[in-house]
Amino acid sequence: MIFILFVITGVLLVVYLKQKYFTLHGYVPGLAPQFLFGNLLQSGFFNGNSPPMILSTFQKRFGDVFQFWFGPSRFIVINNITDVEHVLTHRNIYDQGDIFIEKFSINYSQSLISTKGLSQIASLWPFLCKIISLGIQFKRHSSIVSPLFRRSKVISHFDLIIGCTDKLLTKWRKTEAKTIHVDIVSQCHNLVLAIFGFIAFDYDLETLDDGDNELTLALRTIINSIMTILALPRILAKAYVTLSYRQRQARNTIERYIYRMIEHEQATAQGKHTSLIASLVHSLRMNEHLEATEDIDEDKRGLSRNEVVDEMVAFLIAGFESTSSTLVWFIHLVSKHAQVQQKIKAELIAQDCLYHLSSDRLDSLVYLNCVINEVLRFIPPATGTIRTLTRDDCLPATNVQLVRGDSVLIPFHSLAHDPRYWSVDPNLFYPERFLGEDQNHHPYALIPFGGGHRQCIGQDLARFELKVIVGRLMQKVTFDDAGPEVNAGGHSMGLAILPKHIGVSIEFD
């Protein structure tokens, strides 16, 4: 009897799961998903087809709006630019994607990225929102975190970015002339991680010294596990995070370091909060002081210690590989386009920046801006962003009816390569487009940092960091293409999209 009940429950569970997670819903076209794998097997994801390629193949087959199943997660992919603009400008209907909340809340539940906005509801029913404390949490985190990324803060990191880049240049200088560097991905990772260590923690992660210290190892463990967590169903991802010794060890190490830094910051109280952690600690200190003395509203509270840890790790996850990937693609693409490097160098000379780069002079490097924009357009590091509907809605251009709870995916690469939105062939790497024919491109055709109320909070920092590193590199070296065998490009998928094959030689000017 028990056995029969067990079998019936099992069958019902499979039917329920198949119906809920692996059956094509609604009228939106797409491929019927397979049990457990969704569209991943059918689209060749496991054979190395990258998400941008897969999404553009689906677009050709199914049109501007289609369903795509990333394992058990169903997304409605939107390629029409008017629809994209509608999604990103209606924050009351399209809120943070549920997948971010689901996956980030497993381990880093108290960071900005894993909170919902729901500002509209907050303004209509503040009492209800207080009870469920949804929009409030986003507002609170956002008001504490946003000032850390203001321009005045960002430009204060100029010298340390130059210092780290010079360290990498010194290493390159020691290699034999004509050495073919096939480890550019890890070299750029090390550079960006070193910079992150100083900007975020005011701490030397020593990644440019050929040795990983304890904190660096822990941070690398977290970075390497993110893709696994995103791809697994939530229950398995949670089990992985809870049961994996390495994961727990990494989390403990990071917590230990951050708590030590908090103690140090509180003890020294220098008053100039340049690193991210120092600024967060300031909010913590204000909070602890205030909360001890009076009853303050939820949205005015500072961060707790756990929130500081979660926020710092979330910055790392969101900001590290995306910035590093852009740098890697820059090196790969300019190694294939010698004339672009020549033009950057000519601009450095014309603007008197060949020997004296400074944060003020950076603004005058207009062509360099175009090159960075073109790298971000040619290969946006993130596949796209996701929003989940808080109520039913109809897309204005394609008239597709969506329902509350649907998740929409906006594919950055498809928009940036859609000939409808670009005057010059979008498959050409051509920075000059931003000075001429494509100067007034549709703003939503190029959104590597997302858009609307949940757009990337670190974009000014990322752009500044990239401009300083690239400017410094171009002052000193030229990247040469080491030939089609080692420098073939292709896509390899981590948290960000990276070239599969990159090989360049580095010539000092």
What residues line the site for ligand HEM (CB under 6 A)? 96, 112-113, 314-315, 318-319, 322-323, 326, 381-382, 385, 448-451, 454-458, 461-462
Decide whether 465 or 480 has the Cβ nearer to ligand HEM: 465
Angle 284-271-458 from CA coordinates, rounded to 5°: 65
Residue 338's Cα: distance from chain center in Å? 29
Decide whether 45 or 315 has the Cβ nearer to ligand HEM: 315
CB of 197 to ligand HEM, least distance (A): 12
Decide whether 43 or 96 has the Cβ nearer to ligand HEM: 96
Helix (H, G, I), strand (E, B) or coil at 80: coil
Query: Strands 407-411 and 384-389: what pairing?
Result: antiparallel
Q: 456: annotated binding-site residue? A: yes
User: Of the candidates 75, 171, 65, which has an alpha carbon nearest to the alpha carbon of residue 389?
Assistant: 75
Round to whole Å and give the CA distance between 275 and 298: 26
Decide whether 52 or 450 has the Cβ nearer to ligand HEM: 450
Task: Locate all alpha helices (DSSP H) within 108-213, ordered by sequence.
Answer: 119-124, 126-132, 135-145, 151-155, 158-174, 184-196
CB of 134 to ligand HEM, least distance (A): 14
CB of 2 to ligand HEM, least distance (A): 47
User: Of the candidates 252, 224, 237, 243, which has an alpha carbon nearest to the alpha carbon of residue 316?
Assistant: 224
CB of 238 to ligand HEM, least distance (A): 21
CB of 496 to ligand HEM, least distance (A): 7
Helices then strands, counting H and E runs in the chain, come out as 20, 12
Decide whether 80 or 326 has the Cβ nearer to ligand HEM: 326
User: Of the candidates 187, 503, 202, 461, which has an alpha carbon nearest to the alpha carbon of residue 324?
Assistant: 187
CB of 383 to ligand HEM, least distance (A): 9
Residue nearest to ligand HEM (CB): 450
Task: Locate all alpha helices (DSSP H) within 269-302, ordered by sequence.
Answer: 276-293
CB of 62 to ligand HEM, least distance (A): 23
Decide whether 431 or 458 has the Cβ nearer to ligand HEM: 458
User: Of the candidates 211, 217, 433, 470, which has an alpha carbon nearest to the alpha carbon of residue 328?
Assistant: 470
Contact 458, 153 (CB under 8 A): no
Decide whether 326 or 487 has the Cβ nearer to ligand HEM: 326
Q: Go through 203-232 and write b for each residue having 16 or more CB atoms within 10 A of its CB, e for each that does not.
A: bebbbbeeebbebbebbbbbbebbeebbeb
Round to whole Å and give the CA distance between 408 and 177: 50
- Would you list which residues are annotated within the binding site? 456
- Would you list which residues are annotated within the binding site for heme? 456
